[in-house]
Amino acid sequence: MKIAVCIKHVPEGAGRIDPGSKRLDRSGEGALNHFDANAVEEALRLKGDGEGEVVAVSMGPAKAADSLRKALAMGADRAVLVSDDAAAGSDLVATSKVLAGALARESADLVLFGQQASDADGAVLWAAVAERLRRPVVSQAAEVTVADGKVRVKRQTEFGYDVIEAPLPAVVAVSDAINEPRYPSLKGIMGAKKKPFDTLSVSDTGVDASEAGEAGSKTEVLALGTPAARGDARKIEGDADAAQAIVDFLAEKRLV
């Protein structure tokens, strides 16, 4: 079985919006999105010791290679990075089109995503890619098994769990409750340097440059603004009279 895992290289820390480009500033240090580490771990678990291949796929700047190398160090067999100036500024629509093109080249039986990315928390990219690939999709996976040409997913919901089966090929987005990602070993880190690593342009994915980046995006950030200032605040220090001061304040506001 061939499993493709889509991963994202995200900025470390809170992140910053560049006022000039009105896009997230990705010039600093970055790391593998932690939800995607769960997806890599699940792919490796499903492959086990049997035959098959785990391919890590990403779209981003050259620095995204660092996160792909971590996936290789964890145990993925091969990596594919779509890195092209033409893709800069891609929104969900353009990103899903390019990623779907890269995944179509791989013809994987199963495509895994992390549930969301820490820099955007959109939790919809996997659905958009599945729609473009015309494949069934299941999200919030807390358990995944594959047998008899089907994927069986135990899915987290507000009211418990659903169990959903879908025919392969399929797309599954995993939650961070599904497993505990392994730490790359020294042997894995050294071995990652020798594993196949392909870098693609947008055109290599079968997508025209006009359909990627800002040109292919359907959304636009028109302006940035600072949050509204908070109203007057009263600070109560943690001394012996603090509790009574809080009660008096609530009584003043007629909340008690």
Q: Kindly state whether residue 199 falls inside one of the protein's structural domains.
A: yes
pLDDT of 85-106, one tens digit each?
999 889 999 999 999 999 999 9
Q: Kindly state whether residue 225 falls inside one of the protein's structural domains.
A: no
From first CA to last CA, the distance across the chain in angstroms is 63
pLDDT of 202-227, one tens digit each?
999 999 999 999 899 988 888 888 77
Question: For residue 80, what are the contacts with CB-CB under 8 A and spacing of at least 6?
Answer: 55, 56, 57, 58, 68, 102, 106, 197, 198, 199, 200
256 residues of the chain, pLDDT tens digit each: 999 999 999 987 666 777 777 777 777 788 999 999 999 999 999 998 878 999 999 999 999 999 999 999 999 999 999 999 999 889 999 999 999 999 999 999 999 999 998 887 788 999 999 999 999 999 999 999 999 999 999 998 888 899 999 999 999 999 999 999 999 999 999 999 999 999 999 999 999 999 999 899 988 888 888 777 777 777 777 777 788 888 888 888 888 7
Q: Write down the pTM of the prediction.
A: 0.84
Total domains in the fold of the chain: 1
Return the pLDDT at 15. Answer: 66
Q: Kindly state whether residue 247 falls inside one of the protein's structural domains.
A: no
Q: Kindly state whether residue 58 falls inside one of the protein's structural domains.
A: yes
Q: Kindly state whether residue 245 falls inside one of the protein's structural domains.
A: no
DSSP, residue by residue, the chain: -EEEEE--EEESSS--EETTTTEE--SS-EEE-HHHHHHHHHHHHHHTTSS-EEEEEEES-GGGHHHHHHHHHHT-SEEEEE--GGGTT--HHHHHHHHHHHHHHHT-SEEEEES--TTT----HHHHHHHHHT--EEEEEEEEEEETTEEEEEEEETTEEEEEEEESSEEEEE-TTS--PPPPPHHHHHHHTTS-EEEE-TGGGT--GGGSHHHH-S-------PPPPP-------SSTTHHHHHHHHHHHTT--
Question: For residue 125, what are the contacts with CB-CB under 8 A and spacing of at least 6?
Answer: 6, 92, 95, 96, 99, 113, 117
pLDDT of 31-56, one tens digit each?
999 999 999 999 999 998 878 999 99
The CATH number linked to 197 is 3.40.50.620
Q: Kindly state whether residue 11 falls inside one of the protein's structural domains.
A: yes
Peptide bond connecting 167 to the previous residue in cis, omega within 30 degrees of 0: no
Q: Kindly state whether residue 255 falls inside one of the protein's structural domains.
A: no
Q: Kindly state whether residue 244 falls inside one of the protein's structural domains.
A: no
Q: Where in the sequence is the domain holding 132, given as residue range(s)? A: 2-216
Return the pLDDT at 14. Answer: 60
